[in-house]
Structures are given as C-alpha cells and as structure tokens.
Structure 1
Amino acid sequence: MKELSLHILDITQNSIRAQAKLVKLTIIESLAANVLAIMIEDDGCGIPADKIQNIADPFVTSRTTRRVGLGLSLFKAASETCGGFFRITSEFGVGTKVTGTFNRDHIDRAPLGNMADTVVTMVMSFEEADLIYEHDYNNQSFIFDTREIKETLEVTSLNEPDILNWIREFVREGLEKIMEEE
C-alpha cells in the first residue's frame, strides 16, 4: 500500500467487522527516537486463540467471500521491512490490539498519508461505532473522540456533510498545530 493510512483503514474495517463499538487509533511519532508507531485497539469479538498465531498469514482469513486476507500480512511486512516490529494481541470476546512500529526515517517507509481524510472515511464507515484518534508528535498531542462530538451535537450519527467537513478541518488543523515546530 502506498500510504500507511490505507493499512489503518483496512485494519479498522476488520474491527468493525468484528462488531467493535469503540476503536482507538494511536499514532506516536518521535524524531529524537526515530520511531513511528501505529496502534489500533478495539473492543470487538476478538480472535480465537487457535487462530492468533497465524493471523498475519495471507492465507488466513475469516471472510467467506475470498480465501486471502492481505491486510495484516502487508502491515506486518511494511513494519518489519522498515526496522520495526509487528504485534497482535487478542482475547476472544474482549477485543484486539494491532501494533506496528517503523524506523521513521527508513527509506522504504511509506508516508503516513492524509490522516484528516482517513479519519473522515473511518467515521463514515463506522456506523454506530466510535473512534478515538490520538496522535502524538514529539510529545505534542492531538485527540479526536467521536463520543464527545456526538454528545455536544446531541446526535447518534456524524454522517452529515457539514459535520464530516468540520471533522476533516478539525483534524487537519489539530495535526498542523502539533507539527508546527518541525
């Protein structure tokens, strides 16, 4: 995949298929430590213990429409190729956490991508599920939480064009603010 944000979209869609009601996306970037870490955690149905060992194998999938599941295997390969690591932990009936780390300056590391558009795409596809997105850039933090927006607007869905446009700008401006001092 050309951008890491596409991996994020793919993995968060796995969370929604696993009936998650809350997905937490955490991105940590540190220039000093030369690290980019992406963590996606959900409260979905989890992965059975007998499947977790081979879950990053491209020929392991729970889908019935096709026999290949490339999302996790591609994310694992991307992180390991860039001097990082991949880890997935899950408890059946509780949820799953996927972590990929990268050497931030590795020549083969794909760019993160447009996170404002990625967040809007997640919000549109999540239906009733909520998203917490936390981005830490050199110890400056930006947090976006759909639960707060729903509560403030007194709505159950954020799938309105005006709301989605506001979310895109809010995320874009929030990320610009924490990355100003680069």
Structure 2
Amino acid sequence: MDELALNILDIAYNSIRAKATLIQIRIEDSVNQNHILIDIIDNGCGMDKETIEKVTDPFYTTRTTRKVGLGIPLFKQNAELTGGYLKMNSKLHQGTHVSAMFVKNHIDTPVMGNIIDTIITLIQANDQIDYEFVYITDEFSFEMKTKEMKEILGDVKITEPEVLLWIKDYMKEGLRK
C-alpha cells in the first residue's frame, strides 16, 4: 500500500473483526524527530503468542475467504524499508497494540494519504465502536473522540450523512493548523 492511511484502515478493520468496542489511532508526525509513529490500539479479542508470531507472514490469515493476509506484513515491510519498525503486543481477551515507526525523510516513506476519509470510513463501518483519534505534529495536536460526540448527539446516529459531513469538516479544520 502506498498510503499510510490505507495501512491504518486495514489494521483498524482487523480490530473491527476482533470485536473491538474501542479503537485508538494515534499518529505522531514529527519533522524535528524525523519520524512518523503510528499506534493502533484496540480492546478486541486479542491474539495468543503463536498467532502474533505468524501474523507478519503474508501467507497466514485467520480469514476463511482467502489464503493470504497482507495488511500487517505490508505495514511492517513499509516501515522497515524506511529504517523503521513494526511492533505488536496482544493479550487474549484484552486487545492488541500495533505500533509502526517510519523514518520521515526516507525516500521509501509512503505519503499519509487521506486520513480524514479513513476515519470517516471506520465510523461508518460500525457505529457501535468508539474511536479515539489523535494527530500530533511539531506545531499542533488534534484529538477527536466519537464517544463524546455520541453523547452530545443523543438519539441522532453518528453515521447520519449530515453528522459525517460535520465530522469531516471538523477534522479538516483541526488538521489544517
């Protein structure tokens, strides 16, 4: 995948399939530290030690609809091509933490891509999941929690088209700083 936002979407979909009710996505994009650090943390079903050891193999997948699972292996490969890394921690019945670091000024570092559409797509995928999105740069930080939005919305679903358009505009403004 040539965009980090697509890698994030793919890993977050793993969290959805793992029955997570909370998915945290944290991106630190620092020129001063010359890195992009991406953390995706969920409270899903987690993985045992054997599964964690296999999950970076592209020919391993828990899905029955296909024989390969490329999301995590490609994320790992992309990070390592830049001199970075991918780390995973997981505990059964507690969740999973995927962390990837990319060297920012490396020629092989993928572009971020459309992170706003990625978050909107995730919200649309399952309105029962709470998302916490944090984006930090050297100049500003932006934080958004869908749980807080849902409380304000009351009976109005977060997946209503007007609400999603408002969230998109809110993110555009917050990430434009």
* TM-score range for the pair, normalised by the shorter chain length: over 0.9
Tell whether the 8 Å contact from 1:128 to 1:156 is kept in structure 2 after alignment: no
The match for 1:36 is: 36
- Aligned partner of residue 33 in structure 1, secondary structure: coil
Moved over 2 A (4+): none
- Aligned partner of residue 176 in structure 2, secondary structure: helix
Whole-Å Cα distance in 2 between the matches of residues 2 and 53 of structure 1?
25
The match for 1:180 is: none
The match for 2:101 is: 101
- Aligned partner of residue 175 in structure 2, secondary structure: helix
- Given the alignment of the two structures, is residue 116 of structure 1 paired with residue 116 of structure 2, yes or no? yes
What is the identity, as a one-letter code, of the residue corresponding to 1:7? Answer: N
TM-score, normalization: structure 1?
0.94
TM-score, normalization: structure 2?
0.97
The match for 1:65 is: 65
Matches within 5 A, 1:75-86: 75-86=75-86
The match for 1:89 is: 89
Whole-Å Cα distance in 2 between the matches of residues 63 and 166 of structure 1?
35
What is the identity, as a one-letter code, of the residue corresponding to 2:76? Answer: K
Tell whether the 8 Å contact from 1:116 to 1:169 is kept in structure 2 after alignment: no
Q: Report Cα offsets for 1:73-109 as digits up to 9, x if no partner.
A: 0000000001101101100110000011001111111
Gaps of 5+ in 2: none
Percent identity (aligned) = 41
Whole-Å Cα distance in 2 between the matches of residues 85 and 128 of structure 1?
32
Between stretches 136-145 and 160-169, larger displacement belongs to 136-145
Matches within 5 A, 1:159-174: 159-174=159-174
CA RMSD of aligned residues (A): 1.1
Whole-Å Cα distance in 2 between the matches of residues 45 and 59 of structure 1?
22
- Aligned partner of residue 46 in structure 1, secondary structure: coil
Gaps of 5+ in 1: 178-182
